[in-house]
C-alpha cells in the first residue's frame, strides 16, 4: 500500500511539473478518548482511545481542480503491532461557485456535516475516517444539498458487495428551516455465494426555528420531525418500517453548548446508526465545553447522558483536532 501511495505522489508531482499552478500540502491530527458506559441499557460498553495523523500533498489547477494523495494513520492506544492501521488517501476535487465534487478515497470529516447520529453513529469517525466513492454538494446562503456514495466492500469470492448512499440538505427562510437526511446500505452477495440481499435504510425530516436573536445566546435552535427506517432481507423477511417522533434543542454560549435529542416511537435497527435507537424511547443530553475552537486547533469535552426506559447510561468524550497546511506557487 505504501508503494502505491509513493507512486501516486510521484504522479502528482509529475503532473504538477507539466500543468500545475499551486503545490499544496496539509496535515490533520485527531486525538480522541471516548469512554462509554452502556451496560445498564443492555448495549456494548467500551473505551476508544487513539490518535490519527493524515498528511496530504497535491496540486491545485486553475483554482478549481485539485488532486491529492496521502495516508491516514491510526494508532489506538495499547494496540499491537504499533501502526498496523494505515489507509491510503487519493482523490480528485472540483470546487467552483458553490459546487463541490469529490471522487476517490477522501476524508469524510467536515463533508457530511451535522448528520443525525440515528443514521450515522459517531464511531465512524474513529474506525472509518475515509469515504471511498463519490461526493457532490451544492451550497448557497439559504440552501444546501449533498449526495454521496461510500463503497464499503467490493464484491469478490470471499467478500460481499456493500455500499452506502446518503442524501441530506437544509432549506432556510427567515428564522425557519427544513432539514432532511437519508441513508441506504445495500449488501449483496459474493461472486459465487448464497447470501440473501439486504436493504437497510433510514430517513429523518425536521422542521425547525432559529432563535439566536431572541435569547441572548450565540446560537439556539429547536427542531422536530419524523424518524423512519426500512430493513429487509430478501427471501428471509419482508420490509420492516418502524417510525417515530424526534425532537432536538441545540444551544451555545461562548465556549459552552448543550444538545438534547428526544425520540419516541418504534424501535429501529439501523446498521450504521446509534444503537440507542433500538429502544422505543430514548433521550440523549450532551453537555459540552470547547476551550478553543479557532484557527488550526479545535478541542472539546462532552459529557453525555443516555436515558432509556428505567435506565441512565453515560459517556465522556474528549476530542482534539489540529489542522495546518500551505500552498506554494511555483510558476
| 13, pLDDT greater than 90 | no
Which pLDDT does position 330 carry in this prediction? 64
Cα–Cα distance, 89 to 103 (Å, whole number): 11
| 10, pLDDT greater than 80 | no
Q: What is the mean pLDDT of the chain?
A: 91
Lowest mean pLDDT among 161-170, 197-206, 242-251, 285-294: 285-294
CA distances 21 to 3, 12, 101, 324, Å, are: 26, 12, 20, 20
Which pLDDT does position 16 carry in this prediction? 46
Which pLDDT does position 83 carry in this prediction? 83
Instruction: Write out pLDDT tens, residues 151-188.
Output: 999 999 999 999 999 999 999 999 999 999 999 999 99
Confidence tier at 1 by pLDDT (50, 70, 90): low
Confidence tier at 110 by pLDDT (50, 70, 90): confident
Whether 185 and 179 have beta carbons less than 8 Å apart is answered as no
| Residue 276 CB burial class (10 angstroms; 0-12, 13-18, ≥19) | buried
| 329, pLDDT greater than 90 | no
As its CATH architecture, domain 2-329 has Beta Barrel (2.40)
Cell of 189: 452477495
Which pLDDT does position 118 carry in this prediction? 97
| 29, pLDDT greater than 60 | yes
Lowest mean pLDDT among 144-148, 291-295, 309-313: 291-295
- Report the residue count for the chain: 331
| 316, pLDDT greater than 60 | yes
The DSSP line for 132-193 is EEEEEEEE-SSEEEEEEEEEEE---SSS--EEEEEEEEEEEETTEEEEEEEEEEEE---SS-
Q: How many CB atoms lie within 10 A of CB 115?
A: 19
Which pLDDT does position 61 carry in this prediction? 86
CA distances 48 to 7, 75, 88, Å, are: 33, 11, 22
Which pLDDT does position 14 carry in this prediction? 53
Instruction: Write out pLDDT tens, residues 71-95.
Output: 999 999 999 988 889 999 999 999 9
Q: How many CB atoms lie within 10 A of CB 10?
A: 11
Look up residue 127 and give its DSSP letter: H
Closest CA to 65 of 4, 24, 118: 24
| 134, pLDDT greater than 70 | yes
Residue extents of the structural domains in the chain: 2-329
Instruction: Write out pLDDT tens, residues 193-207.
Output: 889 999 999 999 999
Three-class DSSP category at 3: helix
Confidence tier at 4 by pLDDT (50, 70, 90): low
Which pLDDT does position 21 carry in this prediction? 77
Q: Regarding beta strands 130-139 and 143-153, do their DSSP bridges make them parallel or antiparallel, or are they unpaired?
A: antiparallel
Which pLDDT does position 56 carry in this prediction? 96
Summarize the confidence of residues 109-119 as an average pLDDT: 84
| 325, pLDDT greater than 60 | yes
Ramachandran category for residue 111: left, alpha or beta (phi over 0 → left; psi -120 to 50 → alpha)? alpha
Q: What's the whole-model pTM score?
A: 0.90
Amino acid at each position: 500500500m505504501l508503494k502505491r501511495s509513493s507512486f501516486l505522489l510521484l504522479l502528482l508531482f509529475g503532473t504538477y511539473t507539466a500543468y500545475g499552478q499551486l503545490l499544496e500540502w496539509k496535515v490533520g491530527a485527531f486525538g480522541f478518548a471516548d469512554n462509554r458506559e452502556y451496560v445498564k441499557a443492555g448495549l456494548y460498553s467500551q473505551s476508544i482511545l487513539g490518535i490519527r495523523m493524515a498528511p496530504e500533498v497535491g496540486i491545485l489547477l486553475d483554482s478549481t481542480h485539485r488532486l491529492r494523495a496521502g495516508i491516514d494513520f491510526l494508532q489506538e492506544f495499547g494496540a499491537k503491532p504499533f501502526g498496523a492501521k494505515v489507509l491510503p488517501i487519493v482523490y480528485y476535487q472540483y470546487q467552483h461557485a458553490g459546487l463541490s465534487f469529490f471522487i476517490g478515497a477522501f476524508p469524510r470529516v467536515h463533508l457530511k456535516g451535522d448528520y443525525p447520529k440515528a443514521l450515522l453513529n459517531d464511531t465512524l469517525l474513529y474506525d472509518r475516517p475515509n469515504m471511498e466513492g463519490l461526493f457532490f454538494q451544492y451550497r448557497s446562503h439559504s440552501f444546501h444539498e449533498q449526495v454521496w456514495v461510500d463503497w464499503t466492500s467490493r464484491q469478490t469470492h470471499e467478500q460481499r458487495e456493500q455500499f452506502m448512499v446518503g442524501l441530506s440538505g437544509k432549506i432556510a427562510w427567515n428564522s425557519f428551516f427544513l432539514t432532511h437526511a437519508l441513508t441506504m446500505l445495500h449488501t449483496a452477495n459474493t461472486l459465487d455465494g448464497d447470501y440473501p440481499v439486504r436493504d437497510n435504510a433510514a430517513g429523518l425530516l425536521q422542521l425547525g426555528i432559529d432563535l439566536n436573536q431572541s435569547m441572548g445566546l450565540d446560537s439556539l435552535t429547536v427542531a422536530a420531525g419524523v424518524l423512519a427506517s426500512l430493513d429487509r432481507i430478501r427471501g428471509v423477511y419482508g420490509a420492516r418500517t418502524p417510525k417515530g417522533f424526534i425532537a432536538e434543542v441545540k444551544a451555545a454560549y461562548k465556549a459552552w453548548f448543550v444538545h438534547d435529542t428526544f425520540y419516541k416511537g418504534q424501535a429501529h435497527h439501523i446498521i450504521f446508526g446509534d444503537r440507542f435507537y433500538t429502544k422505543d424511547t430514548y433521550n440523549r443530553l450532551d453537555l459540552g465545553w470547547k476551550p478553543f475552537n479557532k484557527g488550526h486547533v479545535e478541542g472539546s469535552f462532552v459529557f453525555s447522558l443516555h436515558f432509556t426506559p428505567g435506565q441512565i447510561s453515560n459517556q465522556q468524550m474528549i476530542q482534539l483536532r489540529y489542522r495546518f497546511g500551505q500552498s506554494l506557487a511555483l510558476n
